[in-house]
């Protein structure tokens, strides 16, 4: 691999041991994937922030990098952690877990990383442009950046993203190259599939992810019944595909900024019957103890919609927790949404999410979700059964009202 002068200095240890280790990781990766050189990145998103997912081994690695004076040199942001910094006690997070989580906060922040703790940095102003090279590592954020924004990132792991933040570069291979950004499957959506709600995009994403695995699909005929497909819909679609099949890039005809097919593209069709098979697996009609939404982290628009649902009709019989980035929570507070949600017995939770926090400590019963990704991970990561449906239907059921 050819290194530029500065990169070689990092590799040789001239900027300290932390930087040297980081460059060694990037060079090793570059060799595995036959990258010829490094490419500068404009932003980095580091996953592996929750104590629940990285454990003591991960914490020790981050502390070691900080001790060895690893410091990021490009804007670098953090994925959701294991708890809300302000509300962790009232959310039953065990003291031992919180102590470890605080140590993770300290280690990452000590390396100069911004404490964003969100998987939707693009909702709080971190929006790379078409063609911009980045190194992000949370699967739904990778999918959104590549597909909806047209930025370029591989599926980084926590350590390789941290290394990219420290060195400001990443090996130039895979999705950084034009030649790789081509769909291997073109998926026709049968006319009997109706996208009405963002949960429909999540459900569809689960099926598409299983079909294409870690490949790149392109969708034809994707239409919404009652309006235009928006970024929240695409966020749910991409997150579910990334969870069900590790899909880092997809195209939607006439919607995403790119739509490229490979020469040997395979054509397949997804029908309503395919989706019904999946829907049956995630039981849509149960009474839930907790409604957990915001996977990926909620936008202000989603919170506004929830507030409207809460204001109508009877009182909710379940708790509702809405996960989002802290700046979105602040905006919700300014608009008066937070008060309405809290008055309804709910919470807006920042810094974490229903999957990477110890949700199992707070909930014994069924969790209602409207996200395909959460439907896949809550049962395995939190050992709780889920009820997957449109949020409006879950809320109606919780109020004891008749569903549509």
Give me the least distance between CB of 52 and ligand F3S, in Å please.
11
CB 64 to ligand F3S: min, Å: 24
Q: Which is nearer to ligand F3S, 76 or 172 (CB)?
A: 76
Cis ω for the linkage preceding 296 (within 30 of 0): yes
Closer CB to ligand F3S, residue 52 or residue 71? 52
- Is residue 245 involved in binding ligand F3S (CB under 6 A)? no
Using CB under 6 A, which of the segments 151-159, 285-293, 350-358, 391-399 binds ligand F3S? 350-358
| Of positions 138, 197, 232, 302, contacts ligand F3S by CB under 6 A | 138
Question: Residues 23, 29, 126, 239: which binds ligand F3S (CB under 6 A)?
Answer: 239
Contact pick of 297, 347, 390, 396 for ligand F3S (by CB under 6 A): 297
104 binds ligand F3S, rule: CB under 6 A: no
Among 128, 245, 296, 358, binds ligand F3S (CB under 6 A): 296
Q: Which stretch binds ligand F3S (CB under 6 A): 204-212, 214-222, 275-283, 295-303?
A: 295-303
In angstroms, what is the minimal distance from the CB of 219 to ligand F3S? 20
Number of residues engaging ligand F3S in binding (CB under 6 A)? 15
Among 291, 328, 356, 369, contact with ligand F3S (rule: CB under 6 A)? 356
In SS3 terms, the chain reads as CCCCHHHHHHHCCCCCHHHHHHHHHHHHHHHHCCCCCEEECCCEEECCCCHHHHHHHHHHHHHHHHHCCCCCCCCEEECCECCCCCCCHHHCCCHHHHHHHHHHHHHHHHCCCECCCCCCHHHCCCCCCCCCECEECCHHHHHHHHHHHCCECCCCCHHHHHHHHHHCEEECCHHHCHHHCCEEEEEEECCCCCECCHHHHHHHHHHHHHHHCCCCEEEECCCECCCCCCHHHHHHHHHHHHHHHCCCCCEECCCCCCCCEEEEEEEEEECHHHHHHHHHHCCCCCCCCEEEECCCCCCHHHHHHHHHHHHCCCCCCCEEEEEECHHHHHHHHHCCHHHHHHHCCCEEEECECCCCCCHHHCCCCCEEECCHHHHHHHHHHCCCCEEECCHHHHHHHHCCCCCC
Residue selected from 97, 204, 323, 337 as contacting ligand F3S according to rule CB under 6 A? 323
Site string for ligand F3S, 62-91 (x = CB under 6 A): -----------------xx-----------
Residues between 370 and 399 that touch ligand F3S (CB under 6 A): 373, 377
- According to CB under 6 A, which one of 211, 355, 367, 395 is a site residue for ligand F3S? 355
Give the binding site for ligand F3S (CB under 6 A): 79-80, 119, 138, 140, 239, 295-297, 323, 353, 355-356, 373, 377
């Amino acid at each position: 691999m050819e290194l530029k002068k500065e990169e070689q200095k990092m590799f040789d240890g001239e900027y300290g041991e932390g930087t040297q280790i980081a460059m060694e990781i990037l060079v090793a990766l570059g060799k595995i994937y036959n990258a010829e050189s490094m490419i500068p990145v404009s932003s980095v998103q580091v996953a592996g922030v929750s104590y629940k997912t990285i454990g003591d081994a991960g914490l020790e690695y981050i502390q070691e990098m900080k001790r060895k004076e690893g410091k990021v040199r490009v804007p670098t942001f953090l994925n959701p952690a294991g708890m809300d910094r302000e509300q962790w006690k009232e959310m039953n997070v065990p003291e031992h877990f919180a102590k470890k989580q605080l140590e993770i906060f300290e280690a990452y922040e000590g390396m100069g990383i911004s404490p964003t703790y969100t998987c939707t940095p693009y909702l709080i102003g971190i929006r790379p442009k078409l063609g911009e090279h980045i190194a992000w590592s949370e699967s739904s954020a990778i999918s959104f950046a590549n597909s909806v924004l047209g930025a370029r990132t591989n599926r980084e792991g926590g350590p390789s993203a941290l290394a990219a933040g420290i060195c400001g570069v990443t090996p130039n291979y895979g999705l950084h190259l034009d030649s790789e950004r081509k769909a291997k499957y073109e998926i026709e959506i049968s006319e009997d599939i109706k996208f009405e709600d963002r949960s429909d995009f999540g459900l569809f994403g689960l099926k598409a992810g299983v079909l294409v695995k870690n490949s790149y699909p392109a969708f034809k005929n994707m239409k919404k019944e009652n309006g235009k497909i928006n970024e929240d819909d695409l966020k749910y679609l991409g997150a579910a595909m990334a969870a069900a099949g590790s899909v880092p890039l997809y195209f939607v005809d006439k919607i995403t900024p790119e739509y490229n097919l490979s020469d040997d593209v395979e054509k397949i069709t997804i029908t309503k019957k395919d989706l019904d098979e999946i829907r049956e697996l995630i039981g849509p009609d149960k009474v839930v103890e907790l409604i957990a939404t915001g996977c990926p982290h909620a936008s202000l628009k989603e919170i506004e919609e929830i507030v409207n649902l809460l204001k109508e009709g009877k009182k909710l019989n379940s708790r509702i927790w809405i996960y989002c980035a802290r700046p979105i929570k602040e905006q919700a507070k300014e608009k008066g949404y937070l008060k309405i949600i809290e008055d309804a017995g709910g919470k807006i939770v920042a810094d974490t999410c229903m999957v990477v926090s110890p949700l199992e400590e707070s909930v014994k019963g069924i969790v209602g979700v409207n996200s395909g990704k959460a439907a896949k991970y809550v049962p395995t990561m939190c050992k709780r059964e889920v009820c997957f449906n449109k949020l409006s239907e879950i809320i109606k059921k919780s109020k004891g009202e008749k569903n549509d």
